[in-house]
Amino acid sequence: MSLLVVGTLAYDTVETPSGKAEEVLGGAATYFSYAASFFGPVRLMSVIGADFRPEDRELLAGRGVDLGGLHVEPEGRTFRWAGRYEGDMNVAETLDTQLNVFADYAPKVPEPFADSRYVFLANSPPAMQAHVLDQVSDDAFTVMDTMNLWIDIAREELDAVLQRVDLLIINDQEARMLAGESSLIKAGRAILEQGPNAVIVKKGEHGAFLFSREFFYAIPAYPVETVVDPTGAGDSFAGGLMGYLASEDRVDEASLRAAMLYGSVVASFNVQDFSLGRFKEIERAQIDERFQEMLRFTAHP
């Protein structure tokens, strides 16, 4: 298996009904790679500033995350995000975004990463995602995320990238926006027409749908009693999903169904604490336990 992620490493300041966390390790590539690391090694590409804490780098390296693609801007400052969650924990209110070193990031895939078989393009400008696709193998299983901002201001570039990836993973609001359809079922099917072979629509506490040309699959979310902080849930979902697929080294209907459940389970741990708090307390065994629970929760009559 060889799994590559390209995206942000960040410091987040997050407020939720459970409390506040300041300047904690976050970013899409952080959550993705930690989540995927439960299943095997991960290759990471990102950019950080001189302020990136050595212990955070060690944390990732200690999880088997290959930092050979981590670019340091000695004069720069690491990406910052600040946000707040209230009533509906599915939607973050962004209070501040500072792209910092990420603003001028031109990801260059290092030679040893070029043969990666599984590639995740975390949320970033579509042109940046396209630039990464140019540098990886045509045979790679490519997966992308995006966000409302790019649907708004970079639609043409986004449409072009959509044509080139195997799987799009987005949330329900983004799916509706991308398809211009208020029905989520219509939206998922319409996005399939726009290029990708499959679309996963994440619905937070309501689970997720997978639309492909061959089958439709729906799962509930793992039932978490208290969501402390949903930040990174989507990237943790993608990390669990792709970590599992890469570890099986097989993408078919059965592995995708299992990967959806693994993604959901991994995300269910992530939301139980701020930053990587809960991830640091668990091992693969606990993930497999919840996976078995999910099988029981959804078992057929």
CB of 274 to a copy of itself, least distance (A): 18
CB of 52 to a copy of itself, least distance (A): 35
Which residue in 147, 258, 277, 286 binds a copy of itself (CB under 8 A)?
258
Closest CA to 212 of 177, 173, 255, 180: 255
CB of 245 to a copy of itself, least distance (A): 12
Contact characters 200-219, a copy of itself, x per CB under 8 A: ---x-xxx-x-----xxxxx
CB of 250 to a copy of itself, least distance (A): 11
Helical spans, DSSP H, in 118-199: 126-133, 148-153, 155-162, 172-179, 184-193
Which residues on adjacent β-strands are paired with residue 6? 45, 121
Contact characters 260-279, a copy of itself, x per CB under 8 A: -x------------------
Q: Binding to a copy of itself by residue 223, rule CB under 8 A?
A: yes
User: Contact, 114 vs 92, CB < 8 A?
Assistant: no
Q: Binding to a copy of itself by residue 224, rule CB under 8 A?
A: yes
Instruction: Please choose, out of 21-29, 127-135, 142-150, 179-187, the segment that lies near a copy of itself by the rule CB under 8 A.
Output: 179-187
Please report the DSSP string for 86-111 in residue order: -SSTTS-EEEEEE-GGGGG------G
Q: Binding to a copy of itself by residue 299, rule CB under 8 A?
A: yes
Instruction: Please choose, out of 43-51, 62-70, 143-151, 249-257, the segment that lies near a copy of itself by the rule CB under 8 A.
Output: 249-257
Beta pairing, strands 216-219 & 208-212: antiparallel
Give the H/E segment covering residue 287.
helix 284-297
User: Contact, 37 vs 43, CB < 8 A?
Assistant: no
What does the block give as tokens for 84?
A: 């707040």
Distance CA 152, CA 173 (A): 13
What does the block give as tokens for 75?
A: 């004069």
| Burial of residue 62 (number of CB atoms within 10 Å: 0-12, 13-18, 19+) | exposed
Q: Binding to a copy of itself by residue 226, rule CB under 8 A?
A: yes
Distance CA 255, CA 249 (A): 9
CB of 228 to a copy of itself, least distance (A): 11
Pick out residues in 140-169 that bind a copy of itself (CB under 8 A).
none
Q: Binding to a copy of itself by residue 59, rule CB under 8 A?
A: no
User: Contact, 190 vs 179, CB < 8 A?
Assistant: yes
User: Contact, 180 vs 257, CB < 8 A?
Assistant: no
Closest CA to 141 of 231, 243, 66: 243
Which residue in 50, 95, 254, 281 binds a copy of itself (CB under 8 A)?
254
Instruction: Please choose, out of 28-36, 51-59, 61-69, 252-260, the segment that lies near a copy of itself by the rule CB under 8 A.
Output: 252-260
Pick out residues in 77-96 that bind a copy of itself (CB under 8 A).
87
Number of residues engaging a copy of itself in binding (CB under 8 A): 36
CB of 166 to a copy of itself, least distance (A): 18
Question: Interface residues with a copy of itself (CB under 8 A)?
Answer: 87, 182-186, 189, 203, 205-207, 209, 215-220, 223-227, 254-258, 261, 295-301
